[in-house]
Amino acid sequence: MILTSPTPIDLNIGAIRQQFPILGRAVKDRPLVYFDNAATTQKPQAVIDTISQYYGNYNANIHRGIHSLAEEATAAYEASRMAVKEFIGAALSEEVIFTRGTTEGINLVACTWGRANIAAGDEILISGMEHHSNIVPWQILCHEKNAILKVIPVLDNGELSMTDYHNLLSPKTKLVAVAQASNALGTVNPVKPMIKAAHQVGAVVLIDGAQSAVHLDIDVQDMDCDFFAFSGHKLYGPTGIGVLFGKKDILESMPVFQGGGEMIKEVTFERTTYNELPYKFEAGTPNIADAIALKTALEFLNDLGKDNIRKHEAALLKYATARLETIPGLTIVGKAREKVGLVSFIIKGVHPQDIGVLLDNQGIAVRTGHHCTQPLMARFGIAGTVRASFAVYNTFEEVDALIAGLWKALKMLS
Ligand code: C6P
């Protein structure tokens, strides 16, 4: 296949691949082709090294000890918070709360802000393409409070119906919670105007940034969201660490989440006073090593330049989409005008899981199934899709391998 790659020349994909030790391994005696980046990206050596340096050189609990190791660990942990603040364009570092990931961030908001602010008859508005993490916490809250969960419909092309969105918004809407980018379709939602419209009816807005933070430039002040949640492991960082951004005044007004060490100012058996932001929401010993390594992942992204990465991934998406469309019986699910670098598809008469297994036999990792978006799959009348999701280290040759792998799989299944 002759490639006319529009990948920006300032990205040396070969050199970037060298930074990811896992990309050198074989799977089923074939070179690994990793197209499951929306589930979790692989980690560059620098991130792996940061974790082992922490445990090898300055492992200590933070914010508690006055000894040197504790001070070094605390400084590195707080430096990471500063790096996150810059990465998402927050005004203040205390607006950055470390969590386990997107799921925990959303649950934190539902359990604290939600319990304090949602009452019977109030409406929470989500979209029809949400991940279960941005559905179930609101469902639980609605059941608890007798509130109403409303859903913005998804159009056939995988975009949200903006007409319906505006019709659904009303003074009863207390919260809008939507993904900036869909993990199952790739759709990029127009969150900035959506937030503006939600604020006009007095609603608070949470943006699920799990799939957007790695691809798009994030500026929470420009976006004007009230909450923004994302996971480190989807942006070349470790698992078990994520971020919840919240506007300071809202976070300050919220009840605490979990009780324990670090989140307190003073404890007696009669009463407890709580710590300041962000510690108020970081009870117990946090995930220190991975929080520190998150900064390394952000540096990796910043060094390459998100704009360069986006161009490369967009070129891969365009190329993969065009080649997939030549396969008989294949339908791409999600054809939004603006997409992040992932493509979901089904093939007539073939179960997505069978394709996944046959691709894996050729060393190609894709995700198959409902992608934790069962209501979205129901909307399209399908059980699931095959999803190939791209990262900066993926190549056009790997897309060729996917296409060849699909032909082979289809031959075996026929
Ligand atoms: N989607 C996927 O393969 P956690 O698990 O907390 O890091 O992220 C949850 C989550 C929330 N919102 C969106 C839009 C997501 O895509 C995800 C994670 C992965 O698509 C794993 S199911």
Per-residue pLDDT tens over the stretch 99-115 = 999 999 999 999 999 99
Predicted confidence (pLDDT) per residue in 159-211, tens digit: 999 999 999 999 999 999 999 999 999 999 999 999 999 999 999 999 999 99
Ligand 1 binding pocket mutation candidate from 35, 103, 344, 368 (most atoms within 8 A of CB): 103
225 belongs to the catalytic site: no
Atom of ligand 1 nearest to the CA of 101: 6
* Residue whose CA is at the smallest distance from ligand 1 atom 5: 103
49: left (phi over 0), alpha (psi -120 to 50) or beta: alpha
8 Å CB contact between 363 and 112: no
* Residue whose CA is at the smallest distance from ligand 1 atom 17: 210
Ligand 1 binding pocket mutation candidate from 133, 135, 371 (most atoms within 8 A of CB): 133
- pLDDT of amino acid 317: 98
- pLDDT of amino acid 10: 76
List residues bridging with 96 in a β-sheet. 245
* pTM for the full predicted model: 0.97
Ligand 1 lined by 155 (C-beta under 6 Å): no
Report the mean per-residue pLDDT for the chain.
97
Ligand 1 lined by 211 (C-beta under 6 Å): yes
Ligand 1 lined by 212 (C-beta under 6 Å): no
- pLDDT of amino acid 6: 55
Please give the distance, rounded to the nearest whole angstrom, from the Cα atom of residue 411 to the centre of ligand 1.
Answer: 33
Terminal CA-to-CA distance of the chain, rounded, Å? 25
Ligand 1 lined by 180 (C-beta under 6 Å): no
- pLDDT of amino acid 349: 96
Q: Which two tokens stand for residue 371?
A: 């992608």
- pLDDT of amino acid 5: 54
Distances (CA, A) of 67 to 64, 80, 286, 317: 9, 20, 18, 51
Cα–Cα distance for residue pair 379/297, rounded to 1 Å: 36
Could you please report the per-residue DSSP string of 171-213? TTEEEEEEESB-TTT-BBP-HHHHHHHHHHTT-EEEEE-TTTT
Q: Name residues whose C-beta falls within 8 Å of residue 302's C-beta, 6 or more positions apart in sequence.
A: 87
Sorted by where each starts, the structural domains of the chain and their CATH numbers stand as 13-43+305-413 (3.90.1150.10), 48-302 (3.40.640.10)
- pLDDT of amino acid 1: 45
Cα–Cα distance for residue pair 362/171, rounded to 1 Å: 54
Cα 19 to the chain's mean position, in Å?
22
Q: Which two tokens stand for residue 229?
A: 């949640």
Which ranges of the chain have pLDDT less than 50? 1-4
Atom of ligand 1 nearest to the CA of 242: 7
